[in-house]
Structure 1
Amino acid sequence: MTAPYPFSAIVGQDQMKRAMILTAIEPGLGGVLVFGDRGTGKSTAVRALAALLPPIRMIEGSPTNAERAEDSPDWAPPSDGAIVECPTPVVDLPLGVTEDRVTGALDIERALTRGEKAFEPGLLARANRGYLYIDEVNLLEDHIVDLLLDVAQSGENVVEREGLSIRHPARFVLVGSGNPEEGELRPQLLDRFGLSVEVRSPTDIEERIEIIRRRDAYETDTAAFLAHWQAEDAAIRDAILAARAAKPDVTTPDDILRDCATLCTALGADGLRGELTLMRSARALAAYEGAATITRDHLRRVAPIALSHRLRRDPLDEAGSVTRVIRLTEDLLG
């Protein structure tokens, strides 16, 4: 199996990489929605970041990647409790997937052959403590997207059907990608994603040449390419781990809270998810950069990815949502 492409070797796409890093520092942000052209590194970035993160410790054979016996659900098969290290899981959610496949359901084979009522875990169990990646999320059935967003927010999967009453941890970072030309998500679903990024194919010739050069080097001699970028990936990993530890101590001044509320009110964002996401994103960025306090500069840099997908449509404004956020942020925050 070929090792994932190094995260630090991805050329450009700074907003997408920033959003991915922020979710690694603060999983409670609610996931990332990446919309844009095909072939712009969306799935590559997800797998690269997961590979960059340190392995997780888990009970060998645990269906939910549980680290401690008390976290293992009572329906899990018996285990000797041996602890192993495994890569951060990345689970792909295919289009056309059924709800049973996502949440888990009655194990029909055991029911028919042994007469036992047992639970067969779904994709949410496998994604616990990792990433759940949905390509073409805009083509996924709305009720499945609703379900995923509810579980991602609560951190728990509950199955009540076929005589089963099951619940288990399902804490994962939800990453959705898609092409806006193939359809858009409903505004109610857009708002549930924490961060949103628009990616475009690079137009700079030198940047495109560098992408080709690196990809060819990766495919020609993978081991040498990975070794070349190992130190930079390790630096990002260390910064993420340090930010996780420092995040609780980052100060959030009242003036920053006022800025968050003022900005979201001016943009016409519904509810309070915008303010909360903006604050949490800025705090994660501050921790990543070693700052002790959130500043307006942190707000300015995360506002486009935290708020652009929460704007109401303005038929009189031809500017894109990201441009509108940047413009208003500059007007209000300087």
Structure 2
Amino acid sequence: MNVAATRPAFPFTALVGQAPLQRALLLAAIDPAIGGVLVSGPRGTAKSTAARALAALLPDGAFVTLPLGASEEKLIGTLDLEAALRESAVRFAPGLLARAHEGVLYVDEVNLLPDALVDALLDVAASGVNTVERDGVSHTHEARFVLVGTMNPEEGELRPQLLDRFGLMVELDNRYDTAERQRIVKARLAFDANPQAFCVAHEAAQHELAARIAAARTALESLAWSDAVHERAAQLCVEAAVDGMRADLVMLRAARALAALDGAARIAPGHVDQVADVVLAHRRRALPDRSSAGRDHAPPPPSQQRHGETQEENQQSESNSDWGELPPEPVAAKAVKGVIPLPAKKR
């Protein structure tokens, strides 16, 4: 008997000191279209434990791991073309994406995977649909799952284009509070000593949280975004100087998922504020210099002023110049009439 297969997962409600990660995972579970959760942190910070614990709360409970050496066919599945020609029917061999449907797809060290594989993975995570094509034959199937990718920053970063496509990001740190470390270790030792008894002690809380997730999924479509919510999301994204519009979309979806989880009757700007950190953690860029905001015609710094001119004279000369004037460019030399050429040197 496979002991690992019969061993229960560590209860999600028993996790200690992981509140930001737990909330991000719950939001992605309520609305997988958010695009998954990227968890960055050093080794031994319970990244995989939290992902397995989330899977145990979902109706299907599937937990699928994508190994580092996996091929694209192993991920998306394959088509038997010979069977298609022989039987006039598509024979599809499911991949990991199909197995993860309605569950959790866990990718450890996602930053070490080939970019093409990560790109395909994120496409399906956002759309909920996987399409396999080969030589003019295609097969499409649903693939709605919670994508959880982990990485250790010391081992390399994801390219910005891929980083942005993860819906949420949580950064974990080593714990240096002695009391918290004790609580974490005590909980783990108690689970390892008797997993069944430990899970029974948290069974009521687990059932309650699973029911909240199911209710939130049902209520999701009944919640609408008001203009005030849209405005707050846009304001936060502008302040973070994000690229593109994906941050706005993810922030609104995450705020709606949080409102549904809380059992709220409507989405409020406060929900946007609560999810902003995990939405912007990997998208926030250096803010522009606010001291120059609104001063489109501010004078150039002294180093750029013309030699011998005061600031006022420099501004006057700038205002008199042609708008859109281009800098001088080198051109080919031409002979000028009326100029006597120099005599050629005697050989």
Q: TM-score, normalised by structure 1?
A: 0.79
Paired residues of 1:106 and 1:162 also in contact (CA < 8 A)? no
Q: CA deviation at 1:153?
A: 2.0
Q: CA deviation at 1:108?
A: 9.6
Separation in 2, partners of 1:313, 1:265: 11
* Distance 1:26-1:118 versus aligned 2 partners, 3 A rule: closer
Could you tell me which amino acid in structure 2 is paired with residue 93 of structure 1?
A: L
Q: 5+ residue gaps in structure 1?
A: 56-86, 317-334
Separation in 1, partners of 2:79, 2:265: 49
Q: Deviations over 1:14-33 (max 9, x none)?
A: 11000011111111111100
Q: CA deviation at 1:242?
A: 2.0
Match of 2:302 in 1: none
Q: 5+ residue gaps in structure 2?
A: 1-5, 290-347
Paired residues of 1:138 and 1:183 also in contact (CA < 8 A)? yes
Q: CA deviation at 1:313?
A: 5.2
Separation in 2, partners of 1:118, 1:297: 49
Match of 1:76 in 2: none
Which of residues 106, 112, 115 in structure 2 aligns to 1:139? 112
Which of residues 147, 153, 164 in structure 2 aligns to 1:174? 147
State the secondary structure of the residue aligned to 1:299. Answer: helix
Which of residues 118, 121, 133 in structure 2 aligns to 1:160? 133
Which has the larger Rg? 2
Paired residues of 1:50 and 1:131 also in contact (CA < 8 A)? yes
* Distance 1:219-1:256 versus aligned 2 partners, 3 A rule: same
Describe how 1:19-168 pairs up with structure 2 within 5 A: 19-53=24-58, 55=59, 87-106=60-79, 118-161=91-134, 164-168=137-141
Stretches (4+) displaced over 6 A = 108-111
Separation in 2, partners of 1:25, 1:98: 29
Larger proportion of strand: 1
Which of residues 225, 229, 244 in structure 2 aligns to 1:271? 244
Match of 1:9 in 2: 14
Could you tell me which amino acid in structure 2 is paired with residue 182 of structure 1?
A: E
Separation in 2, partners of 1:52, 1:45: 11
Could you tell me which amino acid in structure 2 is paired with residue 13 of structure 1?
A: Q
State the secondary structure of the residue aligned to 1:310. Answer: coil
Which of residues 302, 308, 312 in structure 1 aligns to 2:285? 312
Q: CA deviation at 1:315?
A: 12
- State the percentage of identical aligned residues: 52
Q: CA deviation at 1:165?
A: 2.2
* Distance 1:186-1:315 versus aligned 2 partners, 3 A rule: farther
Could you tell me which amino acid in structure 2 is paired with residue 8 of structure 1?
A: T
Matched, 1:300 2:280: no
Separation in 2, partners of 1:314, 1:43: 34
Paired residues of 1:104 and 1:123 also in contact (CA < 8 A)? yes
Paired residues of 1:249 and 1:292 also in contact (CA < 8 A)? no
Q: CA deviation at 1:186?
A: 0.8
Paired residues of 2:241 and 2:287 also in contact (CA < 8 A)? no
Q: CA deviation at 1:273?
A: 1.0
Paired residues of 1:35 and 1:177 also in contact (CA < 8 A)? yes
Q: CA deviation at 1:289?
A: 1.3
Q: CA deviation at 1:210?
A: 1.0
State the secondary structure of the residue aligned to 1:38. Answer: coil
Q: CA deviation at 1:118?
A: 3.6
Matched pairs, number: 281
Q: CA deviation at 1:279?
A: 1.1
